[in-house]
Amino acid sequence: MFEVKNLHVSIGETRKLRDINLNVKPGELHVIMGPNGSGKTTLAMALIGHPRYKIDTGKIILNGEDITGIPMHERTRKGLFLSFQHPVEIDSLRYLTFLLEALKKNGKSPDVEWIKRVFEKMGLSEEFLQRNVNSGFSGGEKKRAELAQMLLLSPKYAILDEPDTGVDVDSMKFIAGAINESLSRGTGIILITHYARILNEIGKGFHVHILAGGEIKAEGGPELAEKVEKQGFGE
């Protein structure tokens, strides 16, 4: 289980998140929705261990182990994965080299043919593997490549920060497909999104948490996501 307990997070001197609690079991999908600036990316970054996001109190527990204080690369090795809202471009590193290294570091066997197949499944030709990481990729291509990484690494728990923002209808299907496949393999997923559209493509039930002003204000099932889509976050 991936547990977030009474988490309070600051950036600099400013408290951005208060008393966040989440319990994600293997194969479960937890959706986080909330207005712009409500702290969703802050939560994602704090969970993966980005040093700018300071955990003031609370705990992050992965399968019984307290990982609150350990560095980002160790969290990754323990099976936590983050797909970024804004994937970075690395102009000096070939995507294939990056993936082979990432797989090796995470104890997976680096198999180029398998990587090609997974990229193809995400609608990305082999050519993307020969390009530098995200370099000149379109918005939708970047997001699909992030989700290809998730399929390759098969993490225990994945945090996806707006994988469906700015993507076209076909890309959305690829992304929803990757989420469904990971869930069925037992990955627990925290999905940050603004749209119920992607949730209509999810083949199973899910939990919804509404984050506003740095706090979880409401929790429920799929009906809560529909309500947000229809009525927004207002009362």
Q: What would the x/- binding string for Mg ion be over residues 73 to 112, using CB under 5 A?
A: ------------x---------------------------
The residue nearest Mg ion at its CB is 41
User: Cβ atoms within 10 A of the Cβ of 208, count?
Assistant: 24
Closest approach of Cβ 18 to ligand ATP, in Å? 12
- Residue 171 interacting partner from Mg ion, ligand ATP, none (CB closer than 5 to 8 Å by kind): none
Q: How far apart are CA 211 and CA 234, in angstroms?
A: 12
Identify residues 134-153 at the interface with Mg ion (CB under 5 A): none
Q: Beta 80-83 vs 157-161: how paired, if at all?
A: parallel
Q: How far apart are CA 196 and CA 119, in angstroms?
A: 26
Phi, psi of 29 (to 5 degrees): -115, 125
> Are residues 192 and 164 in contact, defined by beta-carbon separation less than 8 angstroms?
no
The residue (of 41 and 68) whose beta carbon lies closer to Mg ion is 41
Q: Is 193 in the site for Mg ion (CB under 5 A)?
A: no
The residue (of 34 and 49) whose beta carbon lies closer to Mg ion is 34
- Residue 58 interacting partner from Mg ion, ligand ATP, none (CB closer than 5 to 8 Å by kind): none
Q: Beta 90-94 vs 53-62: how paired, if at all?
A: unpaired
Q: Is 41 in the site for Mg ion (CB under 5 A)?
A: yes
